Amino acid sequence: MKLQRKNRLRATALGALAVSGALVLTACGSDDNTGSDADGGKTSAAASNIKCDGADGQLLASGSSAQKNAMDLWIKNYMAACTGVEINYKSSSSGEGIIAFNQGTVGFAGSDSALKPEEVADSKKICKTGQGINLPMVGGPIAIGFHLEGVDSLTLDASTLAKIFDNKIKKWNDPAIAALNDGAKLPDKAIQAFHRSEDSGTTQNLGKYLGAAAPKDWKYEAEKKWPAPGGQAASGSSGVAAQVKQVDGSIGYFELSYASSQAITTVDVNTGGAAPVEATSENASKAIAAAKVVGTGKDLALELDYTTKAEGAYPLVLVTYEVACDTGNKAETLGTVKSFLTYTASEEGQKVLTDAGYAPIPAEINAKVRETVAGLS
């Protein structure tokens, strides 16, 4: 089982690199591969289904680092098809992305949590005739990665995770951890828990999970800013993953793609169901499929069930939204925003997510996303 887990991590990492490499090669192809579609948009032979209608110039976007690896793939593929268009996505944090969007410096933002009412109110100053809306585009598990020499597999539940990240469980051989890992040789070693240093939607989603699944042990509100005492901070999902990769005795949270690309072993989550659940795209999809649209009008904000005990459903998931104006988008970037988001929400765009360690948005919800993107103005 331990060997299988390591082989899966290597295979996933290699798969993601292979896809990324293929897209890089496509992006470096000559302009001789560029043709025209029926509507006059420019497309490449390698990505003939991407419609570039109205796309032009440079588009700036920023926000969630959770979707960085997905964005990298999408942008390479899109720019290979749409010559003369440059998309620059700054991977920072959900909080910084929303601030940039509401300051009018980006065409769209990425956020791992839906806009708050006050953020929607601020967006009306930029969107003029409309407001910012949430478009669910990327799904996936928040992996709990760990680095513990001599331990190749680990099961934890919401209660133990809450106590670890709240600095209540401080040693790896704590009885609560041992009880969930019968027979494991857990060392008498201090736990070094890493969290995000900046406002993060990933942090907020972890808080939502812990608050819902372990309410007695996690008393903090689910906010983007890390709430608990102790622990060590690192910048971005990449920073947290890098620390866990390097530090023996460490644990942290980040999107599965970061664990896969760095071959970091992840925790199986005991949900109270028949068996602990591994953090995989497929298992995350089972949880996301039960999500409900709770946004109104064109807003497609989702409500996730963090307490699911369904067989094979990994409960610690997030959905990253692309935030755009429903109406009142800037004329100079509207065409590119619509063209690019049409691709990311397309069947072709969603297919690349699994290879990168993410989970596609469920088809029924994604159909509403495509319809809403088409109506952006």
Place of tokens 């900046």: 198
Is a pLDDT exceeding 90 seen at residue 174?
yes
Distance CA 209, CA 205 (A): 6
| 108-111 and 232-234 beta bridge pairing | unpaired
Task: Write out pLDDT tens, residues 57-77.
Answer: 999 999 999 899 999 999 999
Q: What is the mean pLDDT of residues 123-137?
A: 97
Least confident of 3-17, 210-224, 292-306, 324-338: 3-17
Is a pLDDT exceeding 70 seen at residue 15?
no
* Average pLDDT score, the chain: 88
Beta bridge partners of 322: 110, 135
Residue 176 CB-density burial (10 A; 0-12 exposed, 13-18 middle, 19+ buried):
middle
Is a pLDDT exceeding 50 seen at residue 1?
no
Q: How far is CA 363 from the centre of its chain?
A: 18
Contact 110, 62 (CB under 8 A): yes
Is a pLDDT exceeding 60 seen at residue 30?
no
- pTM: predicted TM-score of the whole model, two decimal places: 0.79
Least confident of 33-42, 43-52, 106-115: 33-42
Q: What is the mean pLDDT of residues 239-245?
A: 97
pLDDT on residue 357: 84
Contact 324, 107 (CB under 8 A): yes
